[in-house]
Structure formats: structure tokens, C-alpha cells
Amino acid sequence: MSKNRDSNDSRARALLLRVFFRTLAILMLFTVILFNFKSSLQVYSVMSLASTMNSLDSDSLAAYGLLYDIIFFFCVLIAIHIIWSGIITVSTRSPWFPLKSKNQKELYWMLFVVLNITCLIAVNSYFFPTSLVSYFRHTPVSEPLVWGGLASFLVISFYRGLFHLTTKSVALCISLLLIAGVLSPFISISQTRAQAQKDPNIIILGIDGLRPDHLKYLGADPKIAPNLNRVLDSMTVYKNAYTPQGRTYVAWMSLLTGKYPVNNGIRFNLAPPEMVNKTLPFIELLKERGYNTTYAIDERRFNQIDSSYGFNNTVGPKAGAADALISGLGDLPYLNILLLHPYSSYILPYLYNNRAYGKAYSPIAFNKAVIESLAHEAPNFLALHYCQLHWPYTSKDFISQPLENWDGNYNHYMYKEMIRSVDKQVADLFARLSQEGMLDDAIVYIISDHGESFKLPTFKTPVPQNLKAFPKTKSWGHGTNILDQQQSLILLARAEFKNGTVVTPAQKIDGLYSLVDIVPTLVSSLAISSTGISSASASRLNTASFDGITLPWTAEQVSHQRYVVVESSVPVKSINKSFIDKKEVMSETASNYEVRDDGKAYMRTKNYIELIAKKQRAIYFQNWQLSLLPDYDSPVLLNTATNEIYDTDNYRGDFNWQPMMRALCSQYKEDPGFDPHASCTEFIISHNTRN
């Protein structure tokens, strides 16, 4: 009897393993089919990305960090398939009706495989309708009542099989562990409101690519961003504000240092580490004053600011070269569904809260993660950046704009839709900040890191005045053309809150301003001095030569003699168009970058220095812009008020542009390859001759 029982147990285990491995093979085949289906729909598939990566050298592709991240991702995929196969296998062990033949058992097993896949796709179709694999979107199958009923049936079937295979006590333990793991992150633990501190909370909200002319204060339709406009209506808005450079990382580093890129050393996105001073004196000072410092961003492909820059907390997806590959592979129903759970940040760090993975990105979930990073027993410094307005303008929800809003420009049409989405995100953020007491005593800035150009017909092309050749003044994107004012003009607003209410003036102030003005203004607002801080920090504070000024509160405080400097980024032809071909962009730029052992992509040091020579550079004074362009042999003078553009060699007007030229040449004189046409040299010789 004992031998027969052992023999039966062995056959049962062998049968169970056979079912398990067959299920595993079917599910992996299902994933392969999904990959192929997505590749047939995507203009730029994962395979084309892999072929483009051949532009990188073998050392980059063999970087330990990159290999680790990719292997880890595939291990997670395999683990998901193994667990899923185990669930299906267990579910078939206690049939709902007698199975008399082998064929019936085979059909019953296949039925459960199909039901599991159907339920998975149905849930994905409900939560992520724009996913390429949401086959049941807008069908009865994607209704919660249908897929909820199917999911309940599958859960009950699993427990029937589990009770058949093991004891009730073991099944109960497994159930409690599953319930605890699934529900624990969602169980709200009541926290007291933020306690009163001697220093105010500091909140800087950055919105990627937000153009000021799409906001109410510059005459745009207030319905486009009603919540954001409502907040701005109560703030002090600086009307003529410019980004130091139209790139997110460079703009934020200029903001955090109070210095222009030429003076802080950060000239491009993905700057090599040896070119970056990650010690941010202002952040160190805040920490010494007891601040909890947080940097949060929902897309890290080109902005790798993290805890190594001195922040106590960072919020957002993992930064690394594997991001592009994993995001391309990632639109799978089981991965999307896992991302609904906060613990997925540990196993899917490149996909969780990643705006670049737009089909599953949740703005509200990102806001929750940001709020959870804040301290209640100390003042907070929160630097927060939203990237929904960045190309390619994807979302997990379909657009709601009526067709009559179509203006013939696809990118602009989608951009306006994303403004509506980020507007809701802003409203949710301020509601949560208020609820947590973070606005009881706070200094708040709202900024954009750069503008965005769409070659809109409503933006008049500057009229050439005696130009030898007409340089392009309208472009696509950002950071590519300093003559295109829509790329450099930004939002800059500030307010002080007491007990959740703005107590500073609601006004619009003229003048010239830059992101480099924020930190000097905060130092002034906090009345930071050498008292109460370390000697090293006091030394950094006293010797810090900010390029920015203290922002004025009144029109009487405005300086009309101020210069503001702007420079361009990497000149990339493939992004200066309406529809961007990712493969073309990668092919053009990949040779400038390398992947290092930490798994992150950086610009090669040699290319970094060489590309500085190709920058466009400009200086603003009152309503004038003076530019030096590497592909144009004379300085270009633009009147931003009249929209007239001049060649300085042929300018005969009354405006004295020479001081602007002197300041611009002085600012960039140490740049490698600066002034290839010797415009500064000629200017200095001419000026000395006249004197």
C-alpha cells in the first residue's frame, strides 16, 4: 500500500510539473506574440533601438550597470511567468466538474489559460486604454463588472486548487501573506499636519516646456489650464523671464547654483561626472538649517539629479541607460497592472512613476510619492519637476479635445491636451500640500525650465533688416535656436503662503529675469548669514558669486540696466522637425555618448568640450537680444518689441548695442572654440581704435 501511495504521489507530482511547464511555455509564447505585435505597430521598435545601439562602442554595451539592469529586468519577467504558471497550475487541480478523459483535462487546462489571459488583457484595457495591448478597450469585456467577476472566479478556483494540494492552515498563511503584501501600502496611517517651524517650507514646482503664452496672464484661453491660472492669479509673475538654456538638467542646475551654465560648468544634459560639481552650496546650507531636502522628477533620461547631489530624498524612476530599452519592452499587461502597486518600484524601478513610459504613468501616484517624501517635523525644501508637457505627449488616457480645436499642428494639438492633464496634476498637488499643512508657512515658486517651439503661424517671423543672409528664427522643440523666442521664454512666479493663503501681492512685474535669480532671492528671503552655520558653509555662502539677482517685489525695485544670458544646447538636426524619428536621433547623437559602469549614459568628455564650440549664445538688455551664431559671420540684433532683426554690420539705428557685445564677449571668452568668426576680436579692435 505504501509503495502504491508513493507511486501515485510521484505520478501526481510528475503530472503537476508537466502542467506547470506546459503553462510556462504557453505564457512565454504569449509574451513573444505581444512583443511581435507591438513591434509591428511601433514606428520605432525595441529591435530598431537595439540596432541603433550598435553606434555605441563595445565597452559601453558591456558596462556592468547596464548589463545588470537589463538582466534584472528579464529575471523579473521570468519570475512573473513562473508565478503566473504556478497559479494556473494550482487552479486546475480541483475541477468544477468531473473530467473523465484526458482530452477533457487538456481542454479544462487550456480554458484556464485562456481565461487568465483574457482577464489580464481586460484589466489592462480598463486601467490603461492607450496601451498597445489593450485589445478589449471600449468593449463589454473591459467593464469592471465583467472582468471583476472573471477575476473573482479565477481567485476562487485558485483557492479550491490550493486546498486540494495543501492543508487549510498553510492555505490560510499564504492568504494572509498575500493580503498583507497587497494591501499594506494602501493602508493609510494618519499623520499629524506639519508642525510649525522657524523656517518656511520652500517649494519649487517646475513644469517642463510650459510656454507662458499658453497661460491666462499673457492672454491665452483660461480654460486651457484653469487650476494653474487660478494659482498664478494670486502670485507675483515676472513677465520677461528666460531660461539659461533650453534643457532640463542644465536649467535646473543653473537654478540650484544661481549661476549661468558657463560659470557652473554644466553645459549639456548628461554631462560627464568629472565635469560636474555635485556639491550644491545652497542645498548644504539648507540641510545645516535643519531642512529636509527632496528632488522629485518623473522622467530621468536626461536629468540625472539624485541623492549624490546632496538631497536627503529623491523621487522618480531610476536613472540609467537601460530606461529606453526597458520602456520599449515594457508595454505588457502584467507589467502595467503591477505598476498600480507601490511595491513595483522595487522590481520595476525604470517603469514606476516614469513619465517616459506614458501609457502607464499616473500623475496622481507620482504626487502621492512626492508628498510621502516630505517631513512633518522639519521644514522642507522640495524641488519638483513635471514632464507631461515633454514630447512625445503620450498618456494612459485618450485625449478629450474636440476636433474643432485641431489647428493643423499635431504636436501643438497634443501639447495643449497635456497642459490640461498637468493642470489637474497641479491642482492635486496643491490640495495635498494644503491638507498636509505644507502651505501654512511656505515660499512657493512655479517655473518652466524652457519653452517649446511649434512653428505656429501666429508667431510672426522677425522681419530681416539689411541682413546678408536670413538666419532661421523659427524652429521645432527647445534648446536648438536662441533666435526663436518661444524656446527661451519661461514662466517664473513666486508667492509666500501663511495658513494656506497667499500673503504676497498678486501682480505682474516687467523687467528681465532668469532662473538663476531664484537661489539669490531665497538666500535673501531666509536672511541667511554666517550665523548658525559651519565655517565651511559660511565660506561657500560668502564667496558664492551668484549670477542672479534678488527678484523685486515692486515695480520701483526693477532694474532696467540688467543683462540676461541664454545659450543653446547640442545642435541636432534630427529633432528640428515636426515628427521626430527616434532612430534618426539616436543615429545622429549616439556617438557623443557612452555608458559607464554605473549603468548611466554620459556625454563623452571629448565631445562635451568640442560641442561647446557649436553653441549659439545671446544676451538680453531691455527689449533687445544680441546673438553670436557659429554658422553666421556677424552678430545678430533682434528687437523683441518690434520683431525686427538686424545684422550689426549694417545696423544704422539709434540703439547702442556695443555694451551688450562687450558683456557677451566677456561672459564666454574662456569657452573653447568661442567666436569662430572673431567678432569679439574685431569689436575690441574697433572699439580701441575709436577710443
Residues 180, 208 within the same domain = no
Answer whether residue 459 is part of any domain: no
Q: Collect the ranges in the chain with pLDDT lower than 70.
A: 1-9, 42-62, 188-194, 401-404, 458-469, 528-544, 572-590, 685-691
User: Which of these three, 157, 186, 215, is where a domain ends?
Assistant: 186
Residues 256, 108 within the same domain = no
The count of structural domains within the chain is 3
Q: Which helix (H) or strand (E) holds 407?
A: none
φ, ψ for residue 591, nearest 5 deg? -70, -15
How many DSSP H helices and E strands does the chain contain?
23, 22
Domain housing 155 = 2-186
Quick one: how far is CA 504 from the chain centroid?
30
Per residue in 589-628, pLDDT (tens digit) is: 667 888 888 889 899 999 999 999 999 999 999 999 999 9
Could you tell me if 248 and 452 are in contact, meaning their C-beta atoms sit under 8 angstroms apart?
no
Q: Work out whether the CA dihedral 14, 173, 25, 71 comes out positive or negative.
A: negative
d(CA 282, CA 258): 9
Could you tell me if 489 and 212 are in contact, meaning their C-beta atoms sit under 8 angstroms apart?
yes
Residues 160, 291 within the same domain = no
Could you tell me if 487 and 453 are in contact, meaning their C-beta atoms sit under 8 angstroms apart?
yes
Give the model's pLDDT for residue 107: 94
Three-class secondary structure assignment of 575-621: HCCCCCCHHHHHHHHHHHEEECCCCCEEECHHHHHHHHCCCCEEEEE
Residues 231, 134 within the same domain = no
Residues 295, 373 within the same domain = yes
CB within 8 Å of 607: residues ≥ 6 apart: 591, 592, 593
* Of 235, 199, 233, the residue nearest 494 (C-alpha): 235
Give the model's pLDDT for residue 157: 94
What rounded mean pLDDT belongs to the chain?
87
Residue 164: all three cell numbers together = 486540494
Could you tell me if 564 and 513 are in contact, meaning their C-beta atoms sit under 8 angstroms apart?
yes
Could you tell me if 438 and 429 are in contact, meaning their C-beta atoms sit under 8 angstroms apart?
no
d(CA 396, CA 293): 31
d(CA 56, CA 65): 15
Helix %, strand %, coil % for the chain, to 5? Answer: 45, 15, 40
Give the model's pLDDT for residue 386: 97
| ∠ Cα 569 217 559 (to 5°) | 65
Cβ-based burial of 466 (10 A; exposed 0-12, middle 13-18, buried ≥19): exposed
Answer whether residue 92 is part of any domain: yes
d(CA 445, CA 422): 16
Q: What are the DSSP calls for 334-376, one per residue? A: HHHHHTTSTTHHHH-TTTTT-TTSGGG--HHHHHHHHHHTS-S
**What are the angstrom distances between the C-alpha of 93 and each of 170, 260, 288?**
16, 67, 62
d(CA 482, CA 247): 12
Please state the length of the chain.
691
Q: What is the domain-level CATH number for residue 206?
A: 3.40.720.10
d(CA 593, CA 129): 35
User: Which of these three, 151, 186, 221, is where a domain ends?
Assistant: 186
* Of 596, 598, 577, 599, the residue nearest 588 (C-alpha): 577
Residues 168, 249 within the same domain = no
Residues 610, 543 within the same domain = no
Answer whether residue 632 is part of any domain: yes
Residue 556: all three cell numbers together = 520701483
Give the model's pLDDT for residue 412: 87
Give the model's pLDDT for residue 165: 84
Give the model's pLDDT for residue 465: 58
DSSP class of residue 552 equals P
Could you tell me if 70 and 322 are in contact, meaning their C-beta atoms sit under 8 angstroms apart?
yes
Residue 182: all three cell numbers together = 497587497
Alpha helix positions (H), 375-409: none
C-alpha distance across the termini of the chain, in Å: 116
Residues 28, 149 within the same domain = yes
Residues 399, 513 within the same domain = yes
Contacts of range 344-347, beta carbons closer than 8 Å, 24 or more positions apart: 347/76
Give the model's pLDDT for residue 382: 98
Give the model's pLDDT for residue 396: 83
Residues 45, 173 within the same domain = yes
Q: Bridge-partner residues for 445, per DSSP?
A: 204, 494
Answer whether residue 193 is part of any domain: no
User: Which of these three, 162, 186, 210, is where a domain ends?
Assistant: 186
Answer whether residue 215 is part of any domain: yes
Answer whether residue 555 is part of any domain: no
d(CA 187, CA 220): 42
Q: Bridge-partner residues for 238, per DSSP?
A: 509
Cβ-based burial of 225 (10 A; exposed 0-12, middle 13-18, buried ≥19): buried
Answer whether residue 60 is part of any domain: yes
Quick one: how far is CA 542 from the chain centroid?
34
Residue 44: all three cell numbers together = 520605432
Residues 160, 299 within the same domain = no
Answer whether residue 402 is part of any domain: yes
Residues 158, 275 within the same domain = no
The answer to whether the pTM exceeds 0.75 is yes
Cβ-based burial of 153 (10 A; exposed 0-12, middle 13-18, buried ≥19): middle
